Amino acid sequence: MQYSKDIRRYYDFWFGLNDISNQLAKSKGITVNTWCILYLIDQHPDSCTMKFICEKMLLPKQTVHSALTVLAKKGYIVRVPHPEDKRNKLLHFTEAGQKYADEVLSVFYRPESEAMEMIGEEVKNNFLESSYIFYQALREVFEQEMFPNQRKERN
């Protein structure tokens, strides 16, 4: 079947990206989960909560809590009461934490940026657009299979 070859190619791509991400994270002495947490706090400095991270990364609270506790003990983040939702705390970098996050995130951004430059603007844009379309389709199929009685409008 043709789709089997396509699925294998997709998984080769996906496993390859995961391997590169794991190697980059390991080079900084962290896990991919910690890298993703640093990324999310960096990209959402005024609204990042543990709940947001759990939902975005599809990780259990305990996993995220453990990683946040390590970052807090190292003095990289602080938890501040959320002004609108007392049950949640906003996550902010300390000055040392922002410096650390910038250093760690640049280890990922640099090769990704260089690779995007290597493939050129048109291929990069096609790749990003088609990846997002695939993600939306996969999400729709997933939601239909997991929640068959709930119809969601496609974004």
DSSP letter for each residue of the chain? -HHHHHHHHHHHHHHHHHHHHHHHHHHTT--HHHHHHHHHHHH-TTT-BHHHHHHHHT--HHHHHHHHHHHHHTTSEEEEE-SS-TTSEEEEE-HHHHHHHHHHHHHHHHHHHHHHHHH-HHHHHHHHHHHHHHHHHHHHHHHHHH-TT------
CATH number at 42 reads 1.10.10.10
The verdict on residue 44 lying in a domain is yes
Quote the pLDDT of residue 143: 86
The verdict on residue 144 lying in a domain is no
Quote the pLDDT of residue 155: 47
Question: Tell me, what amino acid is at 7?
Answer: I
Quote the pLDDT of residue 60: 94
Instruction: Identify the domain containing residue 21 by its residue range.
Output: 2-119
Quote the pLDDT of residue 128: 96
Total number of domains constituting the chain: 1
Contact at 8 Å (CB) between 42 and 49? no
Percent of the chain with pLDDT over 70: 95
136 Cβ contact list (under 8 Å, min separation 6)? 154, 155
Quote the pLDDT of residue 127: 96
The verdict on residue 99 lying in a domain is yes
The verdict on residue 36 lying in a domain is yes
pTM: 0.84
The verdict on residue 154 lying in a domain is no
The verdict on residue 127 lying in a domain is no
The verdict on residue 113 lying in a domain is yes
16-2-136-129 Cα dihedral, nearest 10 degrees: 70
Residues of the chain with pLDDT under 50: 154-155
The verdict on residue 139 lying in a domain is no
